[in-house]
Every structure is written in C-alpha cells, then in structure tokens.
Amino acid sequence: MLNISMLKTIKAMLTVLLIVSSSAAIPVFANEQQGQIAWQKINGNATLIDVRTAEEFTAGHIEGAINIPFEHIVAELAKLNIAKDTEVVLYCRSGRRSGIAQNALIEQGYTATFNAGGLDTLMSTR
C-alpha cells in the first residue's frame, strides 16, 4: 500500500513531467507555425535569401533562393536594387545568421523581412 510520503513524491514527479512535456511542445508548434508563414510568403513571390556560406548553399538549398552570406546582406540587396518594402524571407542553418541578417536589414529601413529559421526545419514544414 502507498503511504502519504510516496503519494506526494509521485505527485511531484508527475507535476514536473507535465511541465517539461508541455514546455517542450511549444517550440515545435512555434517552428511549425514559423515555417507555414514562411512558405506562404515564399509561395507569394517573396524574395528568398539563403544567408549561409557559398559552400553550404552549393551543398543544398531551396529552389529559387539567392545566396547572400549574412555579413553582406545589406550591401548585396542594395546592389540588386531591392526596394526596402519588398517581401524578403531569410533562412540559414539554424536561424541565427538569418536573424542577424534580418536585424541588419531592419536597421537599414527594410520593412518586410521574415526570418524563416533553419533550412531543415523549414523543409520539414513544406
């Protein structure tokens, strides 16, 4: 038979398990939602930019993407004469570099940028 101490321990363990499992589900949903939004924009003819290195781009990328390494994003978009209100979707390997690129574009007045995150995650939501 279970005593009160054992029941309290089981209750505490179940509470921790519930908290951990519910918090783990949130990022998956957020990534899925982020990917769905990105694909809506891409399918709506947004300019798609892969901000990884040329080597990473050559190893595999989304069809139609332009490769501009994140460090050169502002200068290259200016060279390409892309208007600051053009819908631009950025991605990289994990979302970190595309986030840096997005911030740089926002600082320069670009108003319609979207960080789609990492390539693998983005492809899994297609």
Q: What would the pLDDT profile of 7-51 be if each residue is shown by its tens digit?
A: 667 666 666 554 544 444 445 567 788 999 999 999 999 999 999
34 is catalytic: no
Which is catalytic among the residues 92, 101, 104, 116?
Answer: 92
In this prediction the pTM is 0.77
Query: According to the model, what pLDDT value does residue 1 have?
Result: 59
Share of the chain above pLDDT 70, in %: 79
Give the span between the Cα atoms of 34 and 32, in whole angstroms: 5
Average pLDDT over the chain, rounded to an integer: 87
Give the span between the Cα atoms of 38 and 103, in whole angstroms: 17
Kindly report the backbone phi and psi dihedral angles of residue 85, in degrees, each rounded to the nearest multiple of 5, phi listed first: -105, 10
The residue type at 5: S
* SS3 label, residue 8: helix
